[in-house]
């Protein structure tokens, strides 16, 4: 129901509503908070958005978020176990696994899942770079893809194409069916990682 707000305020509110988790009321509250602010915060916010958008790229090695052309913080952390790679669908999937706090290896983000119906084949994903990466000192690959059809297809493809000397495991069941890693809670994810199952 329109409540007669000025057009520029409505426009701002509509833009904020595009944010994940923002509903019409919360977008309206955020818009009002911004336009009624008497300090530099709205300008700082706008600058921070533009700066982050311009600077944040995907790590050239693992595909997680990084600044500029640099490797990400996880790849640069020499205390991590570089012999284990956890394969996830997107960079966002790294966050819940990191929050669960039980994994100290490195990651490889595929940038999607194999989905013949959507025309997404292995050649559209970062699978070639994964196959190259495992050649240098990697002993185990943990496949942490969602347990939907595309996740299963991708897991099967990987277990058929990764070198035979590698140990390959997948997260244990317990994650919601069809659910993505991104929405799993830390406890479930931690248990699924701990009790991972051999894929071949």
Q: Does position 87 bind Zn ion by CB under 5 A?
A: no
Residue 78 is given by DSSP the state T
On the CB side of 45, CA atoms within 13 Å amount to 11
Of the candidate spans 62-70, 85-93, 150-158, 164-172, the one that interacts with Zn ion by CB under 5 A turns out to be 62-70
Alpha-carbon torsion, ordered 172, 72, 99, 84, to 10 deg: 30
Q: Does position 97 bind Zn ion by CB under 5 A?
A: no
Size of the site for Zn ion (CB under 5 A): 6
CA distances from 19 to 12, 16, 22, 100 (A): 12, 6, 6, 25
Least separation in angstroms between residue 7's CB and Zn ion is 44
Q: Does position 61 bind Zn ion by CB under 5 A?
A: yes
For residue 74, is it left (φ>0), alpha (ψ between -120 and 50) or beta? alpha
Q: Does position 86 bind Zn ion by CB under 5 A?
A: no
Least separation in angstroms between residue 179's CB and Zn ion is 25
Rounded CA-CA distance 173/171 in Å is 7
Q: Does position 80 bind Zn ion by CB under 5 A?
A: no
Q: Does position 75 bind Zn ion by CB under 5 A?
A: yes
In this complex, which beta carbon is closest to Zn ion, that of residue 82 or of residue 159?
82
Q: Map tokens 């559209």 to a residue.
A: 124
Among 12, 72, 87, 110, binds Zn ion (CB under 5 A): 72
Rounded CA-CA distance 114/104 in Å is 27
Q: Does position 125 bind Zn ion by CB under 5 A?
A: no
Q: Does position 59 bind Zn ion by CB under 5 A?
A: yes
What does the binding site for Zn ion look like in residue numbers (CB under 5 A)? 59, 61-62, 64, 72, 75
């Amino acid at each position: 129901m329109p409540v007669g707000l000025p057009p520029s305020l409505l426009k701002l509110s509509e833009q904020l509503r595009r944010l994940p988790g923002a509903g019409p009321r919360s977008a309206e509250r955020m818009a009002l908070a911004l336009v009624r602010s008497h300090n530099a915060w709205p300008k700082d916010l706008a600058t921070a958005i533009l700066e982050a958008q311009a600077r944040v790229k995907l790590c050239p090695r693992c595909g997680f978020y990084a600044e500029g052309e640099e490797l990400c913080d996880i790849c640069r952390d020499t205390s991590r176990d570089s012999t284990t790679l956890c394969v996830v669908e997107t960079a966002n999937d790294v966050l819940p696994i990191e929050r669960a706090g039980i994994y100290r290896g490195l990651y490889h983000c595929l940038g999607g899942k194999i989905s013949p119906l959507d025309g997404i084949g292995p050649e559209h994903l970062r699978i070639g770079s994964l196959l190259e990466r495992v050649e240098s000192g990697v002993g185990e690959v943990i496949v942490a893809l969602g347990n939907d059809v595309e996740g299963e297809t991708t897991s099967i493809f990987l277990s058929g194409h990764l070198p035979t000397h590698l140990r390959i495991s997948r997260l244990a069941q317990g994650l919601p069916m069809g659910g993505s890693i991104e929405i799993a809670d830390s406890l479930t994810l931690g248990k699924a990682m701990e009790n991972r199952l051999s894929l071949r």
